[in-house]
């Protein structure tokens, strides 16, 4: 597949009577956004509000549900296939991405594993999303709806608004364009036959109970390990629908901008031959973990990889899937590196992962999610700051008398992201 990915940098977002992009400014009409999100016709939602959060603003967004980047397909299908649009295979043709901005959904808490984005202060240092100009969508549910319906409604509102904004760029000329190409396997191997062949194994959060990810609209709990062209990620084939801990959750923005994929492409044809991506899920039951790790290793072997990179999403139970994938791929004679983060306790002295094996001896870490930070009191809160009392990494004593928050960095969206979309790491002394 060959994808031309163009970029338009958004310098600012402003509310206006008409939605359009002019001279690097995204103008959005609240009335048009409300119409797009169809809140008035939704059986589950009570209200929707829109806010703008810019870098440096004294603004806290909590609880964060998803973060998305507007994109539009100019050629080769439609964004978010199987969810918003028909199920066409994406990953080829031309796509335009609106950079330097994001759409963020918030409102009443859906599940306890949601997060915080601070646009200034100590918390802003830990999240890449504090550097973006953000359109924040606050969605409130009607009384008595189930968490599943609440999550679905918020997710769909975020996707619809993101799709609407992306389409504003369809007739614009990108400021720059990067070409990404992955050929069918035999051609790909032959083209760079002297370079080490590398496969990326991307583990998707699929433990259910609001821990879901969608592939072409299918709940990934229902898939078996399969192959995706890397460019399919860039066109929205993989979408977040989960409330896993904020620090290591992969929001939809991260799937669209997966740093492992982007960095492997940078080395493709130079130091490595990047063959593509194997996606697999993170299971609850041991039998499923065994089956899917067996199939993942078999697929990596079949594709002829010399080396593999495995990233996980979340922690605890998925650590077992991570180690199973790693050890079984290693036993196929494939050099394997894992990307994870750590829950080593507030003092850093606890076991970092819930599982381990001597074959998992090449590890990249996004840092210790249990580290404690104090976040200053900010002037504006979009959402509900009291969510910090119940979200993972917070506590019922998180709000101090002076209004500051004492929390683990687990609460900060993207703080220890396991695809490298963060600012932290760690090393052994």
Per-residue confidence at 426, pLDDT binned at 50, 70, 90? Answer: low
Q: Determine the pLDDT at residue 351.
A: 87
Cα–Cα separations (whole angstroms), residue 367 to 159, 310, 421: 30, 17, 12
User: Between β-strands 405-408 and 101-107, what pairing exists: parallel, antiparallel or unpaired?
Assistant: unpaired
Comparing CA positions, the residue from 319, 333, 328, 316 lying closest to residue 290 is 328
* Residue that the structure tokens 């597949």 belong to: 1
Please provide the size of the chain in residues.
429
pLDDT over 90 (residue 377): yes
Top-confidence residue, 211 or 92:
92
Q: Determine the pLDDT at residue 428.
A: 65
Cα–Cα separations (whole angstroms), residue 427 to 234, 362, 364: 31, 12, 9
Q: Is 107 helix (H, G, I), strand (E, B) or coil?
A: strand
What is the C-alpha to C-alpha distance for residues 274 and 262, in angstroms, rounded to an integer?
A: 11
Instruction: Report the chain's mean pLDDT, rounded to a whole number.
Output: 95
Question: Quick one: tokens of 332?
Answer: 């196929």
**Highest mean pLDDT of the ranges 40-44, 83-87, 235-239, 420-424:** 235-239
pLDDT over 70 (residue 429): no
Beta strands in 205-306 (DSSP E): 213-215, 218-219, 226-228, 238-240, 272-281
Q: How many CA atoms lie within 13 A of 13 on its CB side?
A: 22
Question: Quick one: tokens of 368?
Answer: 């210790």
**pLDDT one-digit tens code per residue, 306-334:** 999 999 999 988 999 999 999 999 999 99
**Highest mean pLDDT of the ranges 26-40, 41-55, 392-406, 413-427:** 392-406
What is the C-alpha to C-alpha distance for residues 252 and 54, in angstroms, rounded to an integer?
A: 20
What is the C-alpha to C-alpha distance for residues 71 and 98, in angstroms, rounded to an integer?
A: 6
**Mean pLDDT, to the nearest integer, of 207-221?**
93
**Mean pLDDT, to the nearest integer, of 159-188?**
97
pLDDT over 60 (residue 276): yes
Q: Determine the pLDDT at residue 85.
A: 86
Question: Quick one: tokens of 304?
Answer: 């002829």
Who contacts 95 (Cβ-Cβ below 8 Å, separation ≥6)? 3, 4, 5, 6, 71, 72, 73, 74, 76, 79, 234, 235
Q: Is 288 helix (H, G, I), strand (E, B) or coil?
A: helix
* 243 is a catalytic site residue: yes
What's the pTM value of the predicted model, to 2 decimals?
0.96
Q: Determine the pLDDT at residue 210.
A: 87
Beta strands in 163-271 (DSSP E): 176-181, 196-204, 213-215, 218-219, 226-228, 238-240
**pLDDT one-digit tens code per residue, 131-153:** 999 999 999 999 999 999 999 99
Q: Determine the pLDDT at residue 249.
A: 95
Task: Please give the DSSP secondary-structure letter assigned to residue 73.
Answer: E
Q: List 380's β-bridge partners, or say none.
A: 59
Top-confidence residue, 40 or 353:
353
Q: Determine the pLDDT at residue 39.
A: 63
Q: Determine the pLDDT at residue 326.
A: 98
Per DSSP, helices labelled H in 352-415 are none
**pLDDT one-digit tens code per residue, 255-273:** 999 999 999 999 999 999 9
pLDDT over 60 (residue 40): no
């Amino acid at each position: 597949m060959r994808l031309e990915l163009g970029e338009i940098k958004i310098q600012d977002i402003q509310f206006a009577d008409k939605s359009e992009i002019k001279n690097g400014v995204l103008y959005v009409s609240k009335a048009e956004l409300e119409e797009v999100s169809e809140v008035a016709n939704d059986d589950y939602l009570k209200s929707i509000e829109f806010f703008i959060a810019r870098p440096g603003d004294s603004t806290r967004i909590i609880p964060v549900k998803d973060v998305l980047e507007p994109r539009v397909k100019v050629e080769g299908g439609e964004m978010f296939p199987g969810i918003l649009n028909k199920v066409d295979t994406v990953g080829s043709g031309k796509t335009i991405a609106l950079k330097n901005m994001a759409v963020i959904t918030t409102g009443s808490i859906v599940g306890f594993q949601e997060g915080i984005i601070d646009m200034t202060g100590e918390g802003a240092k830990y999240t890449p999303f504090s550097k973006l100009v953000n359109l924040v969508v606050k969605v409130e549910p009607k009384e008595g709806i189930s968490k599943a319906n609440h999550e679905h409604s918020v997710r769909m509102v975020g996707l619809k608004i993101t799709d609407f904004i992306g389409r504003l760029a369809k007739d614009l000329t990108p400021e720059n364009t990067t070409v990404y190409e992955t050929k069918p396997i035999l051609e790909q191997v032959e083209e760079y036959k002297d370079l080490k062949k590398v496969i990326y194994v991307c583990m998707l959060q699929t433990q259910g109970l609001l821990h879901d990810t969608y592939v072409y609209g299918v709940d990934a709990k229902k898939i078996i390990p399969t192959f995706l062209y890397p460019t399919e990620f860039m066109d929205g084939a993989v979408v977040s629908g989960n409330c896993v801990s904020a620090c290591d959750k992969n929001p939809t923005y991260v799937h669209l901008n997966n740093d492992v994929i982007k960095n492997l492409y940078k080395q493709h044809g130079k130091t490595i031959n990047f063959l593509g991506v194997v996606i697999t899920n993170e299971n609850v039951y041991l039998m499923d973990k065994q089956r899917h790790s067996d199939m993942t290793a078999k697929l990596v072997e079949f594709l002829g990889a010399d080396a593999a990179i495995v990233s996980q999403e979340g922690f605890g139970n998925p650590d077992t899937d991570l180690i199973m994938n790693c050890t079984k791929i290693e036993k196929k004679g494939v050099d394997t590196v894992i990307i994870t983060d750590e829950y080593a306790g507030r003092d850093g002295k606890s076991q970092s992962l819930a599982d381990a094996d001597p074959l998992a001896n090449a590890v990249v870490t996004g840092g210790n999610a249990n580290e404690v930070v104090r976040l200053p009191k900010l002037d504006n809160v979009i959402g509900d700051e009291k969510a910090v009392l119940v979200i993972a990494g917070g506590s019922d004593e998180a709000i101090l008398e002076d209004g500051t928050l004492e929390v683990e960095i687990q609460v900060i969206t993207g703080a220890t992201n396991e695809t490298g979309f963060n600012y932290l790491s760690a090393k052994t002394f």
